[in-house]
Structure formats: structure tokens, C-alpha cells
Amino acid sequence: MCLATAGLHGVYGLSLSRGYHIGDLSLVYPISRGSALAFIPILAVILLDESISGLAWAGIALVLAGVYCINLDPHASRDLVAPLRALGGPTGRAALFTGALIATYSLWDKRALDEVAPITLNQFAMFGHVLVLSPILLVDRGQRAAGEWRVNWKTILVAGVLTPMAYLLILAALTTSEVAYIAPSREIGIVFGTVLGAVILHEAYGAMRVAASALIVAGVFLLAIAP
């Protein structure tokens, strides 16, 4: 069970890295996280026999609307099929696949917590990232990784502490409540990530993407307060 957690998280890390490599942060991050929010409650009903209220379904609808609108080009707003074409492109596929992985590992980890302590499961999740991503770093004998460390070692250390700590808190929360309502709580950062991509990285269609991300967060809010 723990090895499956490691595998899912490792592939997720690889898929997310791929998405960021070929697409914008303000596009990949909201789609991957937003689509996962829509997948999780639906799969929770099917696989875990959890119940979803009408308010929660409304939240899912808002999340899906946000994922759709985030691909709208404000200069071609009449082309309502464009977002669907964008989701079918390499960046959209990578983001949706990442979202599916997020939903899958969230549901799997929820089940695993019946048998494994949160801190143990979190260790296996982080081990999965190391297991899957390390061979890629060693392709050039670690030269690129060493160069990245020299330039950004402070950022790497901070991320190395905060990332496992954040997911450990999620696992702890999952031991006391349903996955359909806990998982969305971590996605409030969608708007912040989109704003950072638009403002700091100067990515295109910033205002449209921020507005679409706000729709996703509104859906998260409904999921959080749903009975």
C-alpha cells in the first residue's frame, strides 16, 4: 500500500514538472489543481461510498467553469470551443493528467490512512518523488542539478521543508474527515499561484486567468461549507 503511494506521488511529480516545463504556471497550476477538485468528489462517491450534497455539486460546477474559462483568449472570446482545443494540446493534457494523479493519490492515501500513520505515509510519498525524479537528474551526471543548487540553494531548502510539511497536514486532516471536503482546502493557493505567474513571470492573459481561478476558488469554498 505504501509502495503504491510512493509510485503515485513520484509519477505526479514528474507529470507536474513536465507541465511546468512546456506551459505557463498560471495555466498548468490552476488546471491541474482545479480538475483534481472536480475528480475527487465524483470518485469519492464511486469508490469510497461518500455522499455529496447539492451544494457540493454546485461547487464542482464552478470549478469546471473556472478550468474552462482559464483557457479563454480575451481577444477571441466568441470562439467558445477554443478552451476545449487548448485542453487537448500538450500543456492541457499534461495539466489534466496531473489533476487525475492528484485525485488518485488523494483517494488512495485516504484509504491507506486506515492502516498507516500520516507521518509514515508522507515519508513514502516523498520517497516516491526521489525514486522517480532522481534518474532524470543523473542523466548528465548531475551537472544541471549541481548548477541549480549553486544558484537557488536557499529556495530549494525552503521548498524541501514546506512541501512535505504541507502534505503531512493534509494527511492528518484526512484521518478525521471525508476526502471530498478536505482535499479542496489545500487549493486556495490557486489564485495566488495564478497571480504570481501573471505578475512576476509576466505570463499572457493574466486578468482572465486570475478571474477564472477565482471561479475555481469559489467552487472550493462551496465544497468546504457543503454539508
Q: How many domains does the chain have?
A: 1
Looking at the whole model, is its pTM more than 0.85?
Answer: no
Q: Are 88 and 23 in contact (CB under 8 A)?
A: no
Q: What is the pLDDT of residues 15-55, one digit of tens each?
A: 998 998 898 888 888 888 888 877 877 777 787 777 778 88
Q: pLDDT by residue (tens digit) across 122-156?
A: 889 989 988 988 888 777 767 887 888 888 889 88
Domain with 194 in it: 2-225
